[in-house]
Amino acid sequence: MTARLYLRPIAFADSPQSEHGEAVRLGGSMVWASRFAIVVRETGKVVSRERVAVPDLPRALAGLPEALAAQGEAQWAALRKVHAPLACGSRTIRLDQPQIMGILNVTPDSFSDGGQFLDDPDAAHAHGAAMLEAGAAIVDVGGESTRPGAAAVWEGDELSRVVPVVERLAAMGAAISIDTRRPAVMEAALAAGAHIINDVSALRHDPRSLEFVAASDAPVILMHAPGEGEDLHADARYDDVVLDVFDWLADRRDAAIAAGIAPERILLDPGIGFGKSIASNLALMNALPLFHALGQPLLVGASRKRMIGALSHEAPAHRRVGGSLALAIKALDAGVHMLRVHDVFETVQALHVWRGLRDAALTDFAQLPA
């Protein structure tokens, strides 16, 4: 295995002026980093780790072997990249501030709300409208459960579940993503008014998906999951879960670009809860700032996940709001651009308070003498 470098933010500032300008804005977000770890690994093992402050980073990277220096320069540029907004029909989703994606499962067996909106377009429409009113920027419609052990869904059933809901949400002007692995469902949902493709297999489930998404011009979310076939949770083996997921997402990003998908249309998701232990999920949540080095907007979906129950006396899915908010704030503090959540009102409220604190921090030093 060729040596690989990782540029991980490890110290953060409430504002750049608090570090006298010696901090950088991560991924065009509202989060600033002042110190980084330059990590190198070979054959799956970390062989070096150097801590470097922002002013010293160019020198530190220049002193590395040529191949590693090139990786470092690319990641340093990616960490500071400002991402363009997403165009979703008449709506524009800005990525210079966090956004909320509301979950609308039209399934019989999703782990949290399975069956609640199945075969009832009126109820699904009302729930989608309520999430938009509560502050969701996007509604994510899914017709297939991807929980561990979920049964495979016939493509025709998935189409009949999602298309009527997408049509009704589109009629009210919503920005919509379609949560699917199948190109036929992607195509039908886009035709019905969806704008974004959210593929939990990262366009691996069907060999036609890459070509279809490239031709569609729709933004696409590529999520990490270890499984190759129907079971996305299978084959979960990691040397270092954080660095392995980073490398995997880099490879899928590159495959998507090679297939003709424009880089500005690609969002990345580390796949919290998919083929990962509690320890692995916690490690990924703690390492979220690293993923800005991939140069793409970041989405995290940790809402009501099993890890919350495992850490809180096995609380059932509908009683995991507090844990979901804790993980949401962790993601916001990492500069994640989009949160995929069940509890939109509560998460938006938490986001507004978080945003108020960030805005206040940017003015705290305004009255200090030069």
Catalytic-labelled residue, pool 252, 305, 320, 358: 305
- Per-residue pLDDT averaged across 342-349, rounded? 98
- Tokens 């998935």 locate to 158
Q: Is the pLDDT of residue 4 over 80?
A: yes
pLDDT at 176 over 90: yes
Q: Taking 80 as the threshold, does the pLDDT of residue 109 lie above it? A: no
**Is residue 253 classed as helix, strand or coil in its secondary structure?**
helix
- Domain residue spans in the chain? 4-79, 86-358
Q: Give me 172's structure tokens.
A: 């009210």
What is the per-residue pLDDT for 116? Answer: 59
Catalytic residue among 35, 41, 81, 340: 340
- Positive or negative torsion for Cα 110, 225, 98, 263: negative
Percent of all residues in the chain with a pLDDT value above 70, rounded to a whole number: 94
Residues 197 and 184: beta-carbon distance below 8 Å: no
CA-to-CA distance for 98 and 88, rounded, in angstroms? Answer: 16
| C-beta separation of 92 from 86 below 8 A | yes
What is the C-alpha separation between 172 and 124, in angstroms, rounded? 13
Is residue 4 among the annotated active site residues?
no
Average pLDDT on 1-20 reads: 93
**Could you report the per-residue pLDDT of 78-94, keeping only the tens digit for each?**
999 999 999 999 899 99
Residue pointed to by tokens 């031709």:
215
Mean pLDDT of the chain: 93
Q: What is the mean pLDDT of residues 307-311?
A: 96
pLDDT in tens, 264-277: 999 999 999 999 99
Task: Specify whether 81 is catalytic.
Answer: no
Higher pLDDT, 242 or 126: 242
CB-based contact 140:104 (threshold 8 Å): yes
What pLDDT is attached to residue 233? 85
At 28-37, the pLDDT tens digits run 999 999 999 9
Structure-model confidence comparison of residues 204 and 121, the more confident one: 204
Residue recorded with tokens 């938009």: 132
Of all residues in the chain, what percent carry a pLDDT higher than 90? Answer: 84
Cα–Cα nearest to 232, from 248, 246, 219, 247: 248
Q: 186 near 220, Cβ under 8 Å?
A: no
| pLDDT at residue 313 is higher than 60 | yes
pTM of the model: 0.94
Query: Residue 107: its pLDDT value, please?
Result: 82
> Where do we find the tokens 């970390």?
46
Reported as a single tens digit per residue, the pLDDT across 323-339 is 999 999 999 999 999 99
Q: Is residue 2 very low, low, confident or very high in pLDDT (cuts 50, 70, 90)?
A: confident
Pick the CATH number of 86-358 from 3.40.720.10, 3.30.450.40, 3.20.20.20, 3.10.180.10: 3.20.20.20
